[in-house]
Amino acid sequence: MQYAILIYEPDDKFDDRQQPDEGAFWGPWRSYHRALLDAGIYVGGSPLEKADTTATTIRIRGGERRVQDGPFADTKEQLGGFILLEVPTLDVAIEWAARCPAATYGAVEVRPAADLSRIFGPGHQGLPSRG
Amino acid sequence: MAQVTKGYPLVADVRRVVEAVVRASYGRLVSYLSARSHDVAMAEDALADAFVAALNTWPRDGVPNIPEAWLLQAARRRLIDSVRREQTRDANATVLRRTLLEAEQLTTTMRFPDERLKLLFVCAHPAIDARMHTPLMLQAVLGLDAMAISEAFLVPASTMGQRLARAKAKIRVARIAFEVPNGAELAPRLDAVLEAIYAAYARGWDDVDGADPGRRGLVEEALWLARMVVELIPDEPEALGLLALILYCESRRSARRSPAGAYVPISLQDPETWSAEYWQEADRVLGRAAALGRPGRFQLEAAVQSAHMEPARGGSVDWDAVAVLYEGLVRIAPTIGAWLGRAAAVSEARGPAQGLALLEGMPQDALVQHQPYWALRTNLLRRLERHDEAALALEAALKLTGDAAVRRFLSTGSSRSLPSSGTATGGDNSAGCGK
Question: Chain B interface, mutation test: which of A1, A2, A118, most B Cβ atoms within 10 Å?
Answer: A118
Provide the pLDDT for residue B350: 94
pLDDT at A76 over 60: yes
Provide the pLDDT for residue A116: 79
Provide the pLDDT for residue B262: 82
- How confident is the model over B213-244, as pLDDT tens digits? 667 788 889 999 999 999 999 899 999 999 99
Which residue did the predictor score with more confidence, B143 or B4?
B143
Q: What is the average per-residue pLDDT within B52-72?
A: 90
Chain A closest CA to B175's CA: distance in Å? 5
The complex's ipTM works out to 0.86
Q: What is the average per-residue pLDDT within B135-160?
A: 92
Chain A closest CA to B178's CA: distance in Å? 9
pLDDT at B63 over 50: yes
Beta-ladder partners of A63 = none
Provide the pLDDT for residue A122: 65
pLDDT at A118 over 70: no
User: Cα B97 to the chain's mean position, in Å?
Assistant: 36
pLDDT at B108 over 80: no
Provide the pLDDT for residue B419: 29
Reduced to 3 states, what is the DSSP secondary structure of residue B16? helix
Q: Is A21 on the interface with B (CB under 8 A)?
A: no
pLDDT at B88 over 60: no
A110-124, B252-266, B276-290: the lowest-pLDDT one: A110-124
pLDDT at B95 over 80: no
Tell if the CB–CB gap between A122 and B90 is shorter than 8 Å: yes
Pick the residue from chain A with its C-alpha nearest to B126. Answer: A91
Provide the pLDDT for residue A126: 57
Tell if the CB–CB gap between B89 and A89 is shorter than 8 Å: no
Chain A closest CA to B38's CA: distance in Å? 10
Percentage, residues of chain A above pLDDT 70: 91
- How confident is the model over B327-380, as pLDDT tens digits? 999 999 988 889 999 999 999 999 999 999 999 999 888 888 888 899 999 999
For B:143-202, CB contacts with A below 8 A are: 173-177, 179
- How confident is the model over B280-300, as pLDDT tens digits? 999 999 999 999 999 999 999
Contacts 24+ apart (CB under 8 A), B107-115: B107/B66, B107/B68, B107/B69, B107/B72, B108/B66, B108/B69, B110/B66, B112/B25, B112/B28, B112/B29, B112/B32, B112/B66, B112/B68, B113/B28, B113/B32, B114/B28, B114/B31, B114/B232, B115/B28, B115/B31, B115/B32, B115/B34, B115/B35, B115/B178
Pick the residue from chain B with its C-alpha nearest to A94. Answer: B127
For B:297-326, CB contacts with A below 8 A are: none
Euclidean distance between CA atoms B324 and B317, whole angstroms: 13
Provide the pLDDT for residue B306: 96
Percentage, residues of chain B above pLDDT 70: 88
pLDDT at B430 over 60: no
Tell if the CB–CB gap between B179 and A91 is shorter than 8 Å: yes
Going by pLDDT thresholds of 50, 70 and 90, the confidence category of residue A12 is: confident
- How confident is the model over B385-427, as pLDDT tens digits? 999 999 999 999 998 887 788 888 888 864 443 322 223 333 4
Q: What is the average per-residue pLDDT within A5-21?
A: 90
Question: What burial class does residue B280 get, using C-beta atoms within 10 Å of its C-beta: 0-12 exposed, 13-18 middle, 19+ buried?
Answer: middle
Provide the pLDDT for residue B4: 47
Euclidean distance between CA atoms B319 and B299, whole angstroms: 17
